[in-house]
Amino acid sequence: MAGFRDTSQIRISSRVPPDLVVLADETELGRVFLNLFENARRYGRGTYTGLAEVHVSAQRAGPWAIVSVRDQGPGVAPEKLPQLTTPFFRGDAARTAATGAGLGLAIVEKAMQRMGGTLELANAPEGGLVAHLRLQRAEVPAAAVPRVQSARDGRA
């Protein structure tokens, strides 16, 4: 969140299994999320609150993890969805006060490709834009997953 200009304009919630590990470069993956959150802050604000509410969720799909980042904004015209990852394309930017060069989602797509994953953009059935990030899962031995220490038994 430190990369945002104004954190008062976005609220992020998540539901991701704590033991889900993916094969990805930490810096690249951070850039992916920062760009998606910034895109939601600019274009995905709720009509009534003016706040961008973003929900991150993840699920396992065989050898893959699908991480979904969904905002509550107006979504995008279906015919414009394929163009959103085109560099310098800004959709309906003329109708909004949002600024930007139109590079954020193009950067996300290229970063996902470099990490061996994919990006799929869609309008969520409930409204808003959803980005599905498909990343290869990493198999981590159970002993390597950090445990939360229980105050009851004193074990880690």
Instruction: Determine, yes or no, domain membership for 150.
Output: no
CATH number of the domain enclosing 126:
3.30.565.10
Would you say residue 116 has pLDDT above 80?
yes
Distances (CA, A) of 5 to 19, 34, 55, 59: 31, 11, 20, 30
Mean pLDDT, rounded, for 63-69: 97
Mean pLDDT, rounded, for 100-114: 87
Would you say residue 126 has pLDDT above 80?
yes
Mean pLDDT lowest among 5-14, 53-62, 116-125, 147-156: 147-156
Mean pLDDT, rounded, for 78-102: 70
Mean pLDDT, rounded, for 47-70: 93
The pTM for the full model equals 0.81
Backbone angles phi, psi at 12, to 5 degrees: -115, 130
Paired strand residues for 120: 132
Instruction: Determine, yes or no, domain membership for 154.
Output: no
Instruction: Determine, yes or no, domain membership for 1.
Output: no
Q: 103: alpha, beta or left, given left = phi > 0 and alpha = psi -120 to 50?
A: alpha
Q: Specify the pLDDT at position 94.
A: 37
- Residue 100 domain boundaries: 7-139
Please give the torsion angle defined by the CA atoms of residues 48, 71, 7 and 89, in that order, rounded to the nearest 10 degrees: -110
